Structure 1
């Protein structure tokens, strides 16, 4: 099952967007590029309980990488049976985890997880059923929680101030950095010229008062960023110091109106322009809409001759446009898939499918390559490669880090044993139970 699953993920016909996480496993990249048959992947099953993986290069974070659901097995028998229907609804799937999904029809907004009686560790699973619902209206969500129809409910920014002192209030950190992505290949030639000017990008980044953005606009427990890689993701193997603190460069992700104006003037002179009109794209959910409106006011106030037009669209449309490079500046973000800085850093490589702005820097690519290849088995050298890479991102203003996400929830005090991860799969209900 594992051999089949990994080969299937890397087969270009599967179109797996996360296939890049297999990089370093023997022949993975060549298979995904269509240059080799999936059967040439460096994996084998020496017996029914042993899975052998061969690597092209050392992967220092291999063990934490294997916790990501992408590497879990799927059933060939079930995929062959259901064909194109596979995974389109809960009935066209099989399950290896503590719960099975029921009642999901592919588009509906509520379903259940029921205890999986074939799970290897089912004795540890206490809940027989979890009801899950999706609702876009924050008032409805709050009302359902208050009428005891929900045991966990996420709060919107507007609701947080009213519930910060509630005994049910909890903040939940997650390793997501929100940032502005600049389009280095923007279709408009004037915008493209501006986005490729380092001083203009730096000016935009320094025009943002991140503390004000968090306190006045977002209003939750989010924190200001130190760089691209979030805090509390990884610690220095030698000193135990946080990666984000070690990589931090003063004056790169802070608010500095005077310096922003100076850099803006310099950059505009370099591209031979007096005015610049850009489109800022974001999703149309409440927080992103508020954030983009804040940027519009702030950038036009701080940078003379700057005009910001807003495009707030449904998230699926925004992601699709971003992937096609159809934007000038995009309110984007990245969440860590596993607890290693490379999870963020590899996204900005020149060849990454998630590098929507198409920033390209050969020194950066080289540092990531070293961290993932020749320095992979030398902990301190690998760490330094990644520190330099993170610093290069903010020095060059490849993106403008905005804030690090902290979600706010109301959680039933009787709900115990829920495991929350700050990277990868966020919630784990295997040991969850409700106190009597």
Structure 2
């Protein structure tokens, strides 16, 4: 049965690839009045409250309906948004003073105030926050104590000096702090709305107000479609061309392709077999993202994969080139480090950080077999059954099937049970540790290796694999504190942390994130950022 599974997957790929190649020449139809486009997300929207949820669909939605202190421009550079300019820190890099636009308004006409940022950050850093993203505030004065429940959220080093002046005090210098301000985690929240709606804030589109170019309407909290309508109070009306963006959740890439062909989508993201068959389509656009697809390993003490040799075997048995060329075939490239290629250049070496830290050995089935046998002996077992979780999108299913067949075929005594779960069930199982492996991706929020590496620190709330390495933690702590203003030492710490991960394998990098989009040729002005979310707010139809 080991070979049967692999053969069925290969046959499905060949059959569907040929079918899609024959029907992939359609072109989307633009809206007749050129004021509306229709887009998609591939997972459901769970919340609009950035203090309660932080995931890809939510952040994409907030990217197009909210703004923070800065935004990214078309050249991927920081540009003023709610702040009047990109500021430089004082107090040896530990104090940032932001002056807010006096013409910045919420969609209900309220002024955007410094207190709106204070309230948002306090809610998000709190130990009561359920977003799993309170760690991102680490470095802001008292943030770590607050997240650990050892201080009240009002102790956070963020102050409304006056209505339009926001001061942020840090525990230590953070050379990438300005870059972080584009993250939805740092977006403001309308103070009056938070008070009015309480625990219901952000649970529907009506229980929110928005300070970006568009406001969300029509989302009830459970439906799979919503609209962005023009926010008449947005400060920069000249930059906005569309009156409406319709959003639909489309989980199946073949459905997305068919909808694009029928003119029902202006930008359809496709993956897996669907993308394979459309690589020569005239409307295909590859969007390279600083993101990594990987398999998280549960290394908790009571779990099978607490054994390092078993983890190393899983890492070496997988052929990333075969995965990207034969299973995905969508323009994706192999990944050998968790930190994504193209994220950042090490200024002390002039090299891409991921490339300079790539392990010397990336695929060796013979060695994987040896390590696996040794690992089983150390655990006192002759066989193991591993649960491999993932979401329900087609690409993840295909990748997990490839992992399953490769592991079972090459590692004696290994059985892998694949489960494809709805988002809520998947999150519940992962957060409670009910898994051995989980395939997912991490997309860069800002252009620094710490953005990837920090989620694997032992104290990070998103460290669901329970990785705990003193050497790894020490390297990142040194980078964040004593070496923060020493460029040479900082990057040495970053390299050390990645190299420790290479050796200890708390996760298995799989492939780089390359999005395949079928794009209406009349759709212009979309800002496809390699770091962060795609920005459709400046889009137009021509």
User: Considering the TM-score relative to the shorter chain, is it more than 0.5?
Assistant: yes
Determine the C-alpha separation between the residues in 2 that align with 1:181 and 1:137: 24
203, 207, 219: which one pairs with 1:104? 219
Corresponding residue for residue 94 of structure 1: 209
Q: Distance in 1 between matches of 2:249 and 2:314?
A: 36
Which residue is equivalent to 1:181?
296
Alignment of 1:20-419 (within 5 A): 20-185=135-300, 192=303, 194-251=304-361, 254-419=362-527
**Residues 307/37 of structure 1: CA separation in 2 closer, same or farther (3 Å cut):** closer
Q: Matches of 1:125 and 1:49 in 2, distance apart? A: 24
Task: Compute the TM-score of the two structures, normalised by the length of structure 2.
Answer: 0.76
Question: Which whole-Å CA distance do the structure 1 matches of 2:244 and 2:215 have between them?
Answer: 9
Structure 2 residues without counterparts, runs of 5 or longer: 1-115
For residue 229 of structure 2, give the secondary structure of its aligned residue in structure 1.
strand
Cα distance, 1:269 vs structure 2 = 2.8
User: What is the SS of the residue equivalent to 1:144?
Assistant: helix
Are residues 334 and 138 of structure 1, via their aligned partners in 2, closer, same or farther at CA, if it must alter by over 3 Å?
Answer: closer
SS at the partner of 2:499? helix
**Is the partner of 1:427 in helix, strand or coil?**
coil
Equivalent positions of 1:10-29 (< 5 A) are: 10-29=125-144
Cross-structure match for 2:47 = none
**Are the aligned partners of 2:276 and 2:328 in contact in 1 as well (CA < 8 Å)?**
no
Alignment root-mean-square deviation, CA: 1.7
Question: Within 1, Cα distance between the matches of 2:520 and 2:311?
Answer: 45
User: Shift of residue 21 of structure 1?
Assistant: 0.6
Q: How far did 1:277 drift?
A: 2.4
SS across alignment from 1:13: coil
Preserved contact between residue 252 and residue 394 of structure 2 (Cα < 8 Å): no
**Aligned equivalents of 1:8 and 1:202: distance in 2?**
40
Contact 1:285–1:314 (Cα < 8 Å) also in 2: no
Residues in 2 aligned to 1:405 and 1:2: alpha-carbon distance in whole angstroms:
32
Deviation track 1:285-306 (CA, whole Å, cap 9, x = no partner) reads: 3222222222222112211222
Give 1:209 deviation, angstroms: 0.9
CA contact (8 A) 1:289 1:312 kept: yes
The 2-side partners of 1:88 and 1:144 are apart by 28
Aligned residues: 427
Q: What are the equivalent positions in structure 2 for 1:412-431 lying under 5 Å apart?
A: 412-424=520-532, 426-431=533-538
Q: Tell me the CA shift for residue 186 of structure 1.
A: 6.5
- Checking the alignment, whether the CA contact within 8 Å between 2:299 and 2:307 is kept in structure 1 is no
CA displacement at 1:136 relative to structure 2:
2.4
The structure-2 alpha-carbon separation of the partners of 1:264 and 1:217, relative to structure 1 and needing over 3 Å to count, comes to same
C-alpha contact 2:442 2:452 (8 A) present in aligned 1: yes
Q: Find the aligned partners of 1:352 and 1:12 in 2 and give their Cα distance.
A: 12
Query: So what's the TM-score if we normalise by structure 1?
Result: 0.94
Check the 8 A contact 1:349/1:364 in 2, yes or no: yes
What is residue 11 of structure 2 aligned with on the other side? none
Unaligned segments of structure 1, at least 5 residues: none
